[in-house]
Chain A
Amino acid sequence: MTLVAEEVRIEVPVSGAPKRGVVSRLVSRLGNGFVQLLLALVALFWLVPVFGLLIASLRDESANTASGWWTVFTKPSELTLDNYADLVANQAVWQSFLNTFYIAVPATVLVVVMASLASYALSWIEFPGRETLTVVVVGLLVMPIQVALIPVAKLFGTFGLFGTITGVVLFHVAFGLPFAIFLLRNFFTGIPRDLIEAARMDGATEWVIFKRVVLPVAKPAIASLTIFQFLWVWNDMLVALVFADQDSAPITVALRAQLRQFGTNIDLLATGAFLSMIVPLAVFLVFQKYFVQGVLAGSTK
Chain B
Amino acid sequence: MTAVALRDVSLVYPGGTVAVKDVSLSVADGEFVVLLGPSGCGKSSILRMVAGLQRPTRGQVVLDGTPADDVPARSRGVSMVFQDFALYPHLTVGDNIGFPLDVSGCPRPERTERIAEVADAFGIGDLLERRPAELSGGQRQRAAMARAIVRGPRVLLMDEPLSNLDAVLRSGLRAEIVGLARSLGLTVLYVTHDQIEAQTMADRIAVLRNGVLEDEGLPDEVYRHPATMHVAAFLGSPRMSLFKAFVQVVADSHVALHVGGQVIDLPWPDMRARAVAHYDGEDIAVGARTEALRPAAPGSSGSVLTGQVRHLEHHGHETLVSVDVGAWGVEPTGLHELRTGELVLRVRPDARPVRGEHVGVHLCLEQLHFFDLANGRRIGPRGRRR
Contacts and interface: CB of A to CB of B under 8 A. Distances in A.
Chain A residues touching B, range: 20 to 34
A165 B251 CA distance: 102
A6 B151 CA distance: 30
Given A202-B103, A204-B103, A301-B84, A296 B73 contact: no
Interface size of B as a range: 20 to 34
Contacts of B82: 194, 197-198, 300
A211 to B, nearest CB: 11
A217 interface: yes
B84 A199 contact: no
Interface in B4-20: none
B147 A202 contact: yes
A158 interface: no
B87 interface: yes
B84 A300 contact: yes
Contacts of B381: none
Contacts of B133: 6, 294, 297-298
A29 interface: no
Which of A199, A205, A299 has most B Cβ within 10 Å?
A299
A14 B304 CA distance: 65
Contacts of B361: none
B74 A216 contact: no
A155 B75 CA distance: 47
Given A202-B100, A216-B90, A301 B85 contact: yes
Contact of B88 (A201, A203, A299): A299
Contacts of A298: 87, 89, 131-135, 140
Interface in B97-136: 99-100, 102-104, 131-135
Interface string A177-220: 00000000000000010110111111111001000110011000
A295 interface: yes
Contacts of A194: 82-84, 86
Interface string A108-130: 00000000000000000000000
A35 B290 CA distance: 66
Interface string B70-81: 000111001110
B63 interface: no
A120 to B, nearest CB: 16
Interface of A: 6, 192, 194-195, 197-205, 208, 212-213, 216-217, 294-301
18 contacts: A6-B131, A192-B86, A194-B84, A195-B88, A198-B80, A198-B82, A198-B86, A198-B147, A200-B74, A201-B74, A201-B80, A213-B88, A217-B88, A217-B90, A297-B132, A298-B140, A300-B85, A301-B84
Given A200-B53, A298-B89, A298-B140, 15 more contacts: A192-B86, A201-B74, A201-B148, A202-B151, A203-B103, A205-B103, A212-B99, A216-B90, A217-B89, A297-B89, A298-B131, A298-B135, A299-B85, A299-B89, A300-B87
Interface of B: 51, 53, 73-75, 78-80, 82-90, 99-100, 102-104, 131-135, 137, 140, 147-148, 151, 164
